[in-house]
Structure 1
Amino acid sequence: MKYFFDSEVDGLSRETSHLNFIKSMNSDFYYDCMDEFSPFGNDDGADLLYNLEDWYRENKLIRNILKWMFNQIDEMGFEFKSKSCAQLLDLKVINEIQEKDEYLILSMDNSIIATGFGQIKITGKIDPKLKAVTLKALDRQLLINKGDEDSKDYVSRIEKMKTDLSNF
């Protein structure tokens, strides 16, 4: 299998992406590493993509991307474990967690979204379990941000990512 990695010179681009990613993720924001609302434009997403590329370079047989991803998130040092928090869609519980660990949910979701879209960008496909977790992260961000006038652009972007991810 051929993998597609970003070059240090060109960075994030269509030329360093799998054809399946290019066909389905045709909006420019997917290739904008400065756009906070893109999968790879925030710090967590950019770091995750970089680490994911390294993981694919080092591992010829790819197994258990979810375990790898949750380990990456948990290494950030949050109070709660990401694997259990990744299942949450109860706004009351999410708000309680955010009161105790302010950045966990957003960092976790940014990382999950970057891993899901990153796997497609690199390999042209997505693990079904990773797709489900990625969709849940997008749903969680919709739940948290819907109705907030300041988050209107972000909500629109999340809806676009959900639609594009449904092609896989």
Structure 2
Amino acid sequence: MKRAFICKGEKSHKFWCIDYSDCDFSVNYGKSGSIGKFEIKEFETEEECMKQAEKLIRSKEKKGYVEDTGFDFMNRIYIDSEEYGLHPKTSHPRFTEHFTEEFYYDCIDEETPFGSDEGSDTLDSLEEAIRKNPNLNFTDYPQYLIEHDWGMEYIPVETLDPESIKELASKKEMDMTQSDMVTYATAFGQIKITGHLSPELQERGVKAIKRLALLWGNDLTEIQSRMIDDLLSFPIGKD
């Protein structure tokens, strides 16, 4: 259950949101108009979670917060808690609705969007960047991150011909691997953070997953195939 509250004073205008269900809840709070801070808390039972959530709500109401039933949860930026990491309740509702497999929150499996070091670092970088620039250009971000921040060469997918990929990999395998992982992590990251996906990044993300499978000398795995299907079926929108 999602509920939002606002508190207006002479010198401040704040918001506080809570999303509680099962055995955990998230809170998002800060100055109105800002992204704010996200926190996650877990409990042993669903009953205890509900009890503590309602206790927090009563506490906020005593401090002057009033419920905002028209709060727009969709047109917002969602960022994971630094202390907790990947979690559905700190992901955009469109992401949690469409990407239902548990591996989308996996922080270990190299195949998953954010499980590799590259994928995890990409998401962290995206979240930091969008705080500074809410109009971040996600489509161009993979190249910017790799070349500007990491000092490596970004190699876009220009062919999925196995022999051509093998030849290029003999010279630039690491750059290709980094480019592919960062590209599809950015595609999933854009959706996780904003609920949108640019058409160009959708296409590049799918190609990056396919090239990485060829680069590793494998057919598409079950996880990679599912990621491609889910990316292609997600409704694309503005960058």
Asked if TM exceeds 0.5, the reply is yes
Match of residue 77 from structure 1: 151
Instruction: Please say if residues 12 and 31 of structure 1, whose CA atoms lie closer than 8 Å, have aligned partners that are also in contact.
Output: yes
Q: Which residue pairs with 1:125 in the alignment? A: 196
Deviation, 1:145, is 4.7
From 95, 106, 112, give the equivalent of 2:177. Answer: 106
Give yes or no for contact 2:183–2:205 (8 Å, CA) kept in 1: yes
Q: Which residue of 2 aligns with 1:6?
A: 80
Q: Which has the higher strand share?
A: 2
Partner of 2:107: 33
The secondary structure found in structure 2 opposite 1:3 is: coil
Q: Which has the higher helix share?
A: 1
The verdict on how the C-alpha distance between 1:26 and 1:94 changes in structure 2, with shifts beyond 3 A counting, is same
Q: Which has the higher contact order (CA 8 A, sep 6+)?
A: 1
Give the counterpart letter for 2:162 in structure 1: L
Instruction: Give the superposition deviation at 1:86.
Output: 2.5
Report the RMSD for the aligned CA atoms in angstroms.
1.8
Alignment of 1:164 with 2:238, yes or no, is no
Preserved contact between residue 169 and residue 215 of structure 2 (Cα < 8 Å): no
Residues 25-61 of structure 1, C-alpha deviations (whole Å, 9 max, x = no match): 1111110111212100101000000011111111132
Taking structure 2 as the reference length, the TM-score comes to 0.62
Q: Which residue is 2:141 aligned to?
A: 68
Give the Cα separation in 2 of the matches to 1:117 and 1:89: 21
**Secondary structure of 2:233's match?**
coil
CA distance in 2, matches of 1:143, 1:96: 12
Specify whether residues 81 and 11 from structure 1 end up closer, same or farther in structure 2 by C-alpha distance, changes over 3 A only.
closer
Q: Give 5+ residue unaligned stretches, structure 1.
A: none
CA contact under 8 A between 1:116 and 1:134: conserved in structure 2? yes
CA contact (8 A) 2:165 2:214 kept: no
Do the aligned partners of 2:154 and 2:176 also contact (CA within 8 Å) in 1?
no
Query: Is the 8 Å Cα contact of residues 45 and 114 (structure 1) preserved in structure 2?
Result: yes
Partner of 1:15: 89
The one-letter amino acid of 2:145's match is: Q
- Work out whether residues 4 and 122 of structure 1, in 8 Å CA contact, stay in contact via their aligned partners in 2: yes
Equivalenced residues, count: 159
1:87-143 residue CA offsets vs partner (Å, 9 max, x unmatched): 231222221221112312221111011000000000111011111111111222343
Letter of the aligned partner of 1:139 in structure 2?
A: K
- Classify 1:27/1:104 alpha carbon distance in 2 versus 1 (closer, same or farther; 3 Å): same
TM-score where L is the length of structure 1: 0.86
Whether contact under 8 Å (1:145, 1:155) holds in the other structure is no
**Superposition pairs of residues 41-52 of structure 1, within 5 angstroms:** 41-52=115-126
Larger Rg over CA atoms: 2
Distance in 1 separating the partners of 2:233 and 2:121: 25
